[in-house]
Amino acid sequence: MTDSAITTTPVFGTNYPTNFYIVRHADFTSLANTTYHLSVPTSEGNLTIPQLGGELNLNGRDSKIHVTDYDVGGVNLVYCTADIFTWAKSEHGKLVLIMYGGAGETHEFAVPADLGQPRTSEGAAVRSKRVGSTMVVQWQVSATQQVVYFAGLEVHMLWRNDAYNHWVLELPAPEPIGNYSSPSKSQVIVRGGYLLRTASIDGTELRLTGDLNATTDFELIYEPTGRVNTILLNGKDVSASRDKDGRLCATVAFARPSLTIPDLSAAEWKYVDSLPEVQPSYDDSLWTICNHNSSTNDQLSLETPTSLYADDYGYHAGSLIYRGHFVANGAESTLSLNVSAGSAHGYSVWLNQTFLGSWTGNVSNTTYFKTFDLSSTPETDCEYVITVLIDHMGQNEEAPGTDAVKFPFGILNYTLSGHAQSDVTWKLTGNLGGQQYRDLARGPRNEGAMFAERQGYHLPAPPSANWTVASPVQQGMSTAGVGFYSTSFILDVPEGYDVPMSFVFNNGTYNANNTQRGDYRVQLFVNGYQFGKYGRSYSSRASAYVTSADSRQ
């Protein structure tokens, strides 16, 4: 490697001569665009690439895999700096190789010179030259597909974004292979846009199934029989014809459906309080008692008499609720909490029914220490409950060599003025069942500690007949707390269409006096599945996406 900013990890073949060279920035945080040359041993000797001038380049946090002496259907690819998408060889001898690179990049490959001088069919940014016993081809990546033809080898050189529109589809095979992938199965390669699902060949017909999201050009790059002259998509003939290079091509028009989207602002919504835990009558006798004198997490030493790390008690995702019980002595004036719950987490605190305040969140904070003033001195010898509701945002991805993903979540430390820490006994709840979560269909990360979630109100057909009629769009909440809103609607999407839809929460929520309301957080469930989460305090705009199945709830 000619530039110290680039590091290369070789992966050498054992029973084969093929070697791979993984290229990346030495500083994994680098966003630089760095140019370099690659010096590698090959079957044609030690080579410094590119050989036809210019430089290779590595952009930002990208990485590349360069290959040497790679067998492409019996042809030795001496080296290739582009990413290899696929190759295929038919029984009648047609051999196709597809490679791709990033926009504007220079790439180069070499094949044995006995394949002859290549013919360029498409693309003007291609150079070729014989070097020793190899034929070297250099190309500039562009949005236009570029193809060169050797004797018995067809090479497609693509822009990365165009490669996403190419589909390698296995053809059906009898049992025992059946639907399993296998190198023994024949395949077709089709350039066909948004999504192709299956392919089969019946005589001279190629039958494809798939989806369109716009009028799409289809191109049959490869099929193994050499006999296909008709293409059907979802059972309909697409009227394909051959281009100047003999490939079957067609344009398939997209018909936009007529849709009627439910107006959720006009729907009838039902409301129920989802934070009954602050009520004096609330019974937490079945909650998990935080009584572990030590923690299984060694990332941070305990600063509390017993562990208040949620993972120690089997709660690993979703919101958390803690309840701290103590008997007042009249000296209480402040409560301090240090909470950990991931980047942009938030938490709110109550003393009995009195709201003390919130940390509304910031993308820079995974933990936050905050002191709350008690609004009035608690009455001596009376029992009080501290309720802490934490919006758990999940563990952050970690940098190599660190254990950041193991950092504990929950209450790291607390202080109640006038009391020793041991005067407060804590209980905890999270998603229903914790590690023994109940909803096996939706999985352990779908739910959190909110009362409505623990009661299953987010599932289809909640018992809302006697709930208050109130809309999150029209009324919303006027005090701190958690409200659960439910409505039902039917999506009438025409058969044959898969229509992505979204709910959008904006930062600009205003009351009737055109005064911006306070910070808020939202979780969105559709048919029991959590489709998204939004926090107005740390996001300017967020969407949650819903597919087009008929939906209620």
Residues 313/292, Cβ–Cβ less than 8 Å: yes
355 pLDDT higher than 50: yes
The domain boundary residue, chosen from 141, 163, 185:
163
Q: What is the pLDDT of residue 514?
A: 53
Kindly state whether residues 26 and 58 are assigned to the same domain.
yes
- Domain assignment present for residue 72? The answer is yes
Which tokens go with 466?
Answer: 């006697």
What is residue 501's predicted lDDT score, i.e. its pLDDT?
Answer: 87
Indicate if 229 and 318 belong to the same structural domain. Answer: no
Q: Which domain holds residue 519?
A: 457-546
324 and 417 part of one domain = yes
Rounded to the nearest 5°, which phi and psi values hold at 426? -115, 145
Whether residue 50 is found in the same domain as residue 156: yes
pLDDT above 70 (res 72): yes
Cis before 276 (ω within 30): no
pLDDT digits (tens, 9 = 90+) for 106-165: 999 999 999 999 988 766 679 999 999 999 999 999 998 899 999 999 999 999 999 999
Band of residue 539 on the pLDDT scale cut at 50, 70, 90: very low
Q: What is the CATH number of the domain that holds 112?
A: 2.102.20.10
For the record, the structure tokens of 533 come out as: 């989460």
The per-residue pLDDT for 541 is 34
Beta bridge partners of 64: 23
349, 308: one domain = yes
Is 125 among the domain residues?
A: yes
Lowest mean pLDDT among 348-362, 419-433, 484-498: 484-498
Highest averaged pLDDT of the listed ranges 80-84, 193-197, 473-477, 544-548:
80-84
Banded pLDDT at 441 (limits 50, 70, 90): very high
Taking only the tens place, the pLDDT of each residue in 264-273 is 989 999 999 9
pLDDT in the model for residue 123: 61
Band the pLDDT of 376: cuts 50, 70, 90.
confident
Amino acid at 137: V
User: Distance between CA 14 and CA 480 in Å, rounded?
Assistant: 65
Using one digit for the tens of pLDDT, what is the confidence trace for 174-224? Answer: 889 888 888 889 999 999 989 999 999 999 999 999 999 999 999 999 999
Work out the angle at residue 99's Cα, subtended by the Cα atoms of residues 192 and 231, and round it to the nearest 5 degrees. Answer: 25
Rounded Cα distance between 47 and 109, Å, is 12
Same domain? 429 vs 330: yes
Of 401, 436, 471, the position where a domain reaches its end is 436
Q: Is residue 42 part of a domain?
A: yes
pLDDT given at position 159: 96
Closest C-alpha among 533, 535, 529 to residue 547? 529
CATH at residue 369: 2.60.120.260
Q: Indicate the pLDDT class of residue 319, thresholds 50, 70 and 90.
A: very high
Question: What does the pLDDT read at residue 141?
Answer: 94
Average pLDDT, whole number, for the chain? Answer: 90
pLDDT at 382 over 60: yes
For the segment 445-456, what is each residue's pLDDT rounded down to a tens digit? Answer: 999 999 999 999
In a domain, 76, yes or no: yes
Average pLDDT over residues 10-19: 91
**85 and 181 together in one domain:** no
Is residue 100 classed as helix, strand or coil in its secondary structure?
A: strand
Task: Tell me the average pLDDT across 428-436.
Answer: 96
What proportion of the chain, given as a percentage, has pLDDT over 90?
Answer: 72
Domain contains 258: no
Does residue 431 sit in the same domain as residue 478? no
- Please indicate, yes or no, if residue 257 is contained in any of the structural domains: no
What's the rounded Cα separation, in Å, for the pair 59 and 105?
9
Same domain, 368 and 486: no
Segment 293-322 mean pLDDT: 95
Domain boundary among 116, 146, 163: 163
Query: CA dist 55 to 2, 52, 288, 363, Å?
Result: 11, 9, 62, 39
Residue 309 counted as domain residue: yes
- On the question of pLDDT at 1 being above 60, the answer is no
Over residues 5-17, mean pLDDT: 91
Q: What's the count of helices (H) and strands (E) in the chain, helices before strands?
A: 2, 41
Contact 475, 485 (CB under 8 A): no
Residues 323 and 369 in one domain: yes
Residues linked to residue 49 through DSSP beta bridges, in sequence order: 38
Amino acid 550: pLDDT? 30
Q: Are residues 181 and 34 in the same domain?
A: no
Our count of domains for the chain comes to 4
Bridge partners (DSSP) of residue 58 are 34
Tell me the DSSP string of 16-31. SS-EEEEEEESSTT--
CB count within 10 Å of CB 404 equals: 12
CATH number, domain containing residue 173:
2.60.390.10
Give the 3-state DSSP-derived string for 418-448, with helices as H, strands as E and coil as C.
CCCHHHCEEEEECCCCHHHCCCCCCCCCCCC
pLDDT for residue 513: 55
Q: Does 283 share its domain with 420?
A: yes
**Is residue 145 situated within a structural domain?**
yes
Provide the terminal-to-terminal Cα distance of the chain, rounded to the nearest Å.
58
Taking CA atoms, 335 is separated from 370, 441, 504, in Å, by: 8, 40, 36
Q: Which of 509 and 5 is assigned the larger pLDDT?
A: 5
